[in-house]
Structure 1
């Protein structure tokens, strides 16, 4: 991996984003973290398109974009979900991904090389009970990435999406215990995934080693996804 490459990792201060940032740095990539949490290189809310565009102007050229910022949203049956909770989940998980892609992809196209790795979830493929906003938003990220991969197919920019089963991250600490137990029970390996396991897949998708895959969905699920 070229030491001159720069990666922007959203949600880079915790969970999968933090693990991805650490792993990319091991490949001598310059990593810039974008998060609303303290300590981020850029404190930006991904739901704000103007703030994301301003961040893009500040950072300069970005070769790798990892969209890891996300929230679980409410845990309840669909008919009990508050409208603002539904909107907030989509704002972070979908609009946030849309905003960063819009801000950083043109530069990648101009330079003829780029890697976009979006983080979705098995919930976006299977649908988790009592997690309809999260499941639907992650399905949207999968669909967005499939379209994006086709749009960029001859540009030198590759866009792929990772769909993990439940991973041991701070985000899942807020998941209702019964919902967490259900989604863990679906994993044949009978354990949660580890952030560093997902980060290894991120690093490959962000590298020159992947060259003929775009718009693809990569499951990392301990055997939950076998199709």
Structure 2
């Protein structure tokens, strides 16, 4: 998700509730580190290797996605009637969001290359900033579409559980990423396990 641009672009989201707007604004796990000094030198992975939004590259990113899906299915206790349409809507949403993130990372990489020049092309920087804003709106529209689709499939209780789960899962993933960055070889520096309490319903 977009970092600086995302919060402003959230105003362009269709007004379908505060919760949906918050979904558009929240940065993906890992993207809040985008202002690190070394960020300008970070290469963008090839399109086929892009991880889920903000997640680690390669196998770890795919592992996060599998864990997210497994925990969400377990939490929602989907009926036979709900399972297929929900999974289709969820996978469509995640695919769209990953594509938006791939494009966002490419644009950020282009901007970082421009900024390395002593005489950066401000006109092109403005164009790239507009492209980031456009992607923020595209991402928000995708989330709105997903929420509308799931409300036609799930019960209100399941929709509420899913919203809470997504927030807590991303927060738990973010903590793991921070731990790995601060303590690369220490506990929590490898593997895909998460504390179960990270997204368990509050009493």
TM-score grouping bracket, smaller chain normalisation: 0.3 to 0.5
TM-score (norm 2): 0.35
Counting strand residues as a fraction of each chain, which structure ranks higher?
1
Greater RCO structure (CA 8 Å; 6+ sep) = 2
TM-score (norm 1): 0.32
